[in-house]
Structure 1
Amino acid sequence: SGGLVLNGAEASAGGLRAAAGMYEQLKGEWSRKSPNLSKCGEALGRLKLALLDLNFLPTTGTKLTKQQLLLARDILEIGAQWSILKKDIPSFERYMAQLKCYYFDYKEELPESAYKHQLLGLNLLFLLSQNRVAEFHTELERLPAKDLQTNVYIKHPVSLEQYLMEGSYNKVFLAKGNIPAESYTFFIDILLDTIR
């Protein structure tokens, strides 16, 4: 090939710059008032491959820097939110499975994400909407008691589950009117369809 052979560190530094550049493009598109979802989807696909190339996803056992972890976490968070706008449930579930690793396994090393509770709450709502109640309770056990009582994003699905248990379906309908984030509508609608 005649090209330069880079050592691992140089290759990953170049790869990191490329990934960071792609991420900036994704973020630019994503933060527009009405983002182009197919453009975001293409960028997410490319970034996922770039992260795998760089061994950024924590499964590889490589020690990752804070910068790398934050970049990967931000990308996965956009991916999870993008999946909801695309109404792509399997994709949402895949992004959340990876994100939970950042939220729980790396919580000592990383500053808390502004989206953490919103996405964990969405994940709880997702499990409820799929009637996966045992998993819902497993996820709740990972959260501090204080979040269950005071965090608006977590409290919402917790209350919904109580209403479902009590058979207070009118309260479930009312809960749609005071969702903590627009993205919650998607899974609440699925839940309401199930009840109907």
Structure 2
Amino acid sequence: MASELRSLASELRTALHRKQLDTAASYLSRAKHILLQQNALIPTSSTPPQLVSLAREILELGALTSIRREDASSFTRYYQQLQPFYDAEGHLETTGSTSGLDLSTSQRSKITGLYLLLLLSVGNTSQFHTVLEGLVVEASLKGHNVEDDSYIKYPVELERSLMEGSYDKAWRETKSERVPSEDFSLFSNVLVRTIRREIADCSERAYPSLPISNAKNLLFLNSEGAVVEFAQERDWTLHDGRIYFPTDPESAAADEEQPIGQPEKEIVLSSATIIENSIGYARQLETIV
């Protein structure tokens, strides 16, 4: 059984390298069936160290397969399945029972960094900090800094930028060479969409309208055509090169009380100013909440 699992793990790595995701999923199904037969999907004190490492490697490859299939729910399940294996291997290291234990294939920091990025992309900051605090404690016990690991540092710096309201800085980070691997870029794209929605929500509340040209940079979109498509998805009105946001009934009532003859304030701002004002508004909303 162990030799068959090793063979499946090798074939799984090859399929992932070649981006043959359906083939990888087939290998995963077979490997997990064998692990289930061996009662090795959850490690126990009686599980041989060699089998612990092999099962952990297969589950990690499963997690990466899920990411490349853009299946966040499946990735989360794999992440949760992996925690007992990481704990078991840590315990074996502590007790010196490392005979047969293979840590050279461990992708723990990468899987954990990806999970942090997923939490960030869906706005689950409480769980993000819970996981991070555990990593900080563990690293300090080993005399390390958690941000020495590039896989962990990347989501931590992104979260820091978002908490500061520096959406433009966070966006630049997702496009920079500091993205640790191609797998991270998948969740980075999800995060960019989340940031874009946040800015759009704030803009709707902050402005009656914006020029399409300004909205392109504000929303980190590549063309005015992409702005038009995004505007249509949100039911924004387009007219004479401007986006008109839905009118809030309370705001409309206030506008009706405006003195007759007072000119409507024209908002034509530079891209940088628009971003700054949107971020400021986001901070105000956060304070109110």
* TM surpasses 0.5: yes
CA separation of 1:105 and 1:16: change in aligned 2, threshold 3 A: closer
CA separation of 1:58 and 1:173: change in aligned 2, threshold 3 A: same
Percent of matched pairs sharing the same residue: 35
Partner of 1:192: 192
Distance 1:112 1:71 in 2: 11
Aligned residues: 179
- Partner-residue secondary structure (3-state), 1:42: helix
Q: 1:22, CA displacement in angstroms?
A: 2.6
Partner of 2:33: 49
For the pair 1:22 / 2:26, whether they are aligned, the reply is no
Q: 1:98, CA displacement in angstroms?
A: 1.2
Contact 1:117 1:154 in 2 (8 A): yes
Out of 126, 133, 140, the position equivalent to 1:134 is 126
Distance 2:161 2:41 in 1: 38
Distance 2:123 2:131 in 1: 14
Runs of 4+ residues deviating >4 angstroms:
none
Partner of 1:35: 19
* Structure with greater proportional helix content: 1
Distance 1:24 1:114 in 2: 14
Partner of 2:211: none
Q: 1:108, CA displacement in angstroms?
A: 3.5
Distance 2:132 2:185 in 1: 21
Partner of 2:250: none
Structure 2 gap segments, 5+ residues each: 93-100, 197-289
Partner of 1:153: 151
Contact 2:63 2:75 in 1 (8 A): yes
Partner of 1:167: 165
TM-score by length of 2: 0.58
Partner of 1:67: 50
Q: 1:114, CA displacement in angstroms?
A: 4.4
| Root mean square deviation of aligned Cα | 1.8
Determine which structure has greater relative contact order: mean sequence separation of CA pairs < 8 Å that are 6+ residues apart, divided by chain length: 1
Out of 123, 137, 144, the position equivalent to 2:115 is 123
Q: 1:166, CA displacement in angstroms?
A: 0.8
Q: Radius of gyration: which is bigger?
A: 2
Contact 1:55 1:62 in 2 (8 A): no
Q: 1:195, CA displacement in angstroms?
A: 1.1
- Partner-residue secondary structure (3-state), 1:74: helix
